[in-house]
Amino acid sequence: MCAAGVWFPEIRRRAARASRPVAESARQASRTRLCARLRGVKTIIEPFRIKSVEPLRQTSREERERLLEEAGYNLFLIEARNILIDLLTDSGTSAMSTAQWAAMMRGDESYAGSESFFRLKKVVQELTGFRHVIPTHQGRAAERILFGVMCRPGQSVPNNTHFDTTRANVEINGARAVDLPCPEAADTQARHPFKGNLDLAALERLIETEGAANVPLVMITVTNNSGGGQPVSLENIEAVKRVASRHGIPLYLDACRFAENAYFIQQREAAYAGCTPKQIAQRMFSLADGCTFSAKKDALANIGGFLCTNDDRLAEQEKDLLILTEGFPTYGGLAGRDLEAIAVGLTEVLDQDYLQYRIASTEYLGRHISERGVPIVEPPGGHAIYIDAGLMLPHIPRHQFPAQALAVELYRHAGIRSVEIGSVMFGDKAPHELLRLAIPRRVYTQSHVDYVVEAILEVNARKNQIRGLEIVSQPRFLRHFSARFRML
Ligand X SMILES: Cc1ncc(COP(=O)(O)O)c(C=O)c1O
Specify the stretch interacting with ligand X by CB under 6 A; choose among 116-124, 163-171, 454-462, 477-485: 163-171
Cβ 24 to ligand X shortest distance, Å: 30
- Binding ligand X (rule: CB under 6 A), the pick from 128, 173, 294, 356 is 294
- How far apart are the C-alpha atoms of 197 and 195, rounded to whole Å? 5
Nearer CB in complex with ligand X: 124/256:
256
Q: Is 296 in the site for ligand X (CB under 6 A)?
A: yes
* Binders in 73-92 for ligand X, by CB under 6 A: 91
Q: How far apart are CA 475 and CA 453, in angstroms?
A: 34
140 lies in the site for ligand X, by CB under 6 A? yes
Closer residue to ligand X (CB): 196 or 250: 196
Question: What's the CA gap between 344 and 392, in Å, rounded?
Answer: 41
Contact between 345 and ligand X per CB under 6 A: no
Cβ within 8 Å of residue 92, ≥6 positions away: 138, 296, 301, 302, 303
Residue 169 interacts with ligand X (CB under 6 A)?
no
Applying CB under 6 A, among 94, 155, 160, 166 the residue interacting with ligand X is: 166
Residue among 418 and 446 whose Cβ is closer to ligand X: 418
Within 10 Å of residue 60's Cβ, how many Cβ atoms? 9
**Dist. CA 104–CA 343, nearest whole Å:** 10
Q: Which stretch binds ligand X (CB under 6 A): 18-26, 132-140, 269-277, 335-343?
A: 132-140
| Nearest-approach distance from CB 141 to ligand X, in angstroms | 7
From the list 147, 163, 386, 485, which residue makes contact with ligand X (rule: CB under 6 A)? 163
The DSSP secondary structure of 207-241, one letter per residue, reads HHHH-GGG---EEEESSBTTTTSB---HHHHHHHH
DSSP state of 388: E
Of 296 and 441, CB closest to ligand X: 296
- The stretch among 49-57, 107-115, 133-141, 204-212 that binds ligand X (CB under 6 A) is 133-141
C-alpha 18/C-alpha 238 separation (Å) is: 20
Nearer to ligand X, 279 or 294 (CB): 294
Residue 256 touching ligand X (CB under 6 A):
yes
Identify which of residues 226 and 356 has a Cβ nearer to ligand X in the complex.
226
Nearer to ligand X (CB atom), residue 93 or residue 361: 93
CA angle 434, 238, 384 (to 5 degrees): 20
Distance CA 158, CA 350 (A): 28
The answer to whether residue 254 forms part of the interface with ligand X (CB under 6 A) is yes
> Measured from the CB atom, is 116 or 166 closer to ligand X?
166
Q: Helices 258-268 and 352-370, interaxial angle, to 10°?
A: 80
Site string for ligand X, 213-232 (x = CB under 6 A): --------x---x-------
Q: Select from 139, 193, 274, 332 the one that contacts ligand X (CB under 6 A).
A: 139
Minimum Å gap between C-beta 164 and ligand X is 8
Q: How far is the CB of 169 from ligand X (least distance, A)?
A: 9
Alpha carbon distance 465, 467 (integer Å)? 6
Helix (H) or strand (E) holding 280: helix 277-286
Q: Single out the segment in contact with ligand X by CB under 6 A; choices: 161-169, 334-342, 374-382, 468-476.
A: 161-169
Dist. CA 253–CA 8, nearest whole Å = 31
Three-state DSSP state, 399: helix
Verify binding: residue 290, ligand X, rule CB under 6 A.
no
Residue 305 sits in the site that holds ligand X (CB under 6 A): yes
* Residue 421: closest CA among 389, 376, 467: 389
Q: Amino acid identity of 150?
A: M
Among positions 94, 114, 165, 279, the unique one binding ligand X when judged by CB under 6 A: 165
Coil, helix or strand for 292? Answer: strand
Is 448 within 8 Å of 85 (Cβ atoms)?
Answer: yes
Phi, psi of 436 (to 5 degrees): -95, 130
In the complex with ligand X, the residue whose CB is nearer, 256 or 407, is 256
Q: What are phi and psi of 63, to 5 degrees?
A: -60, -45
Least spacing, CB of residue 261 vs ligand X, in Å: 11
What angle, 0 to 180 degrees and rounded to 10, lies between the N-to-C axes of helices 402-414 and 61-70?
140
CA distance 57 to 39: 37
What's the closest the beta carbon of residue 298 comes to ligand X, in angstroms? Answer: 10
71 binds ligand X (CB under 6 A): no
Q: Give me the residues that bind ligand X (CB under 6 A), please.
A: 91, 138-140, 163, 165-166, 221, 225, 254, 256, 294, 296, 305
